[in-house]
Amino acid sequence: MAKKRFRPITIPKDVKVTLADVHMKVQGPLGSLTMNVSTKVVVEIKEDVIFVKNRDEMKQSAAHQGTMRSRIMNLINGVVKSFEKVLVIQGTGYRAQLTGTNLQLFLGYAKPKLVALPKGITCELKVVKSAEKGDLTYITLKGIDKQLVGNTASQIKRLRIPDPYKHKGIRYADEVIRKKVGKRAVVQA
């Protein structure tokens, strides 16, 4: 069997990576992040390069190797430049506002929904007036932890999933929702 080649991870100059047993800590200009490394892989730090290798020839080891490499890359990218997710609120009367560290969402329910933003996540709101779509509220979530940013965005989106008929709800900015034709239009055709 041919020897596998593993892609090394280069460490930028302003980032410091330390590995103690299975605990990895990455410090950079924007902050520091920690992660537990899987026991199915071997992580070696040599000068400015990190090598993530399989511990054995098992299929699980290969899967963990790819996952660990990608998670380490996300830690390094996060402390150098933060990650962001943009959500769009669309619908008549749907809006959002910041109240301290909470995000208050008015989504057509009897009471507004309150989302507590986790520590390390910043939120920016921007309202765009549009004649054809009504007011669109853009929620930009930023943070150094990619997983935390994604989970927070997913939690907010779940509060009002977009309706395929009227497009009302919360969606990602780059998400394309195909509009369905209603019953009436199908019967008349």
* Model pLDDT for residues 19-34, shown as the tens digit of each residue: 998 899 999 999 999 9
Q: 131: which 2 tokens?
A: 């004649």
pTM recorded for the entire structure: 0.86
Backbone dihedral region for residue 131 (phi beyond 0: left; psi -120 to 50: alpha; all else: beta): alpha
- The pLDDT confidence band at residue 3, using thresholds 50, 70 and 90, is low
Q: Output 72 or 133, whichever has higher pLDDT.
A: 72
* Structural domains in the chain plus CATH codes: 9-80 (3.90.930.12), 83-172 (3.90.930.12)
Q: How much of the chain, in percent, has pLDDT values that exceed 90?
A: 68
35 has pLDDT over 50: yes
- Tokens, residue 1: 């069997």
Whether residue 4 is predicted with pLDDT greater than 70 in this model: the reply is: no
Range 34-40 contact pairs with CB under 8 angstroms and sequence separation of 24 or more:
35/71, 35/72, 35/75, 37/68, 38/64, 38/67, 38/68, 40/64, 40/65
So what's the pLDDT on residue 2? 47
- pLDDT for 182 beyond 80: no
Mean pLDDT of 157-184: 89
Mean pLDDT of 73-100: 93
Look at residue 5 and tell me whether its pLDDT is greater than 80.
no
Alpha helix segments (H runs only) across 30-170: 59-80, 146-157
Q: What is the pLDDT of residues 134-163, one digit of tens each?
A: 789 999 999 999 999 999 999 999 999 998
Looking at residue 188, its pLDDT comes to 66
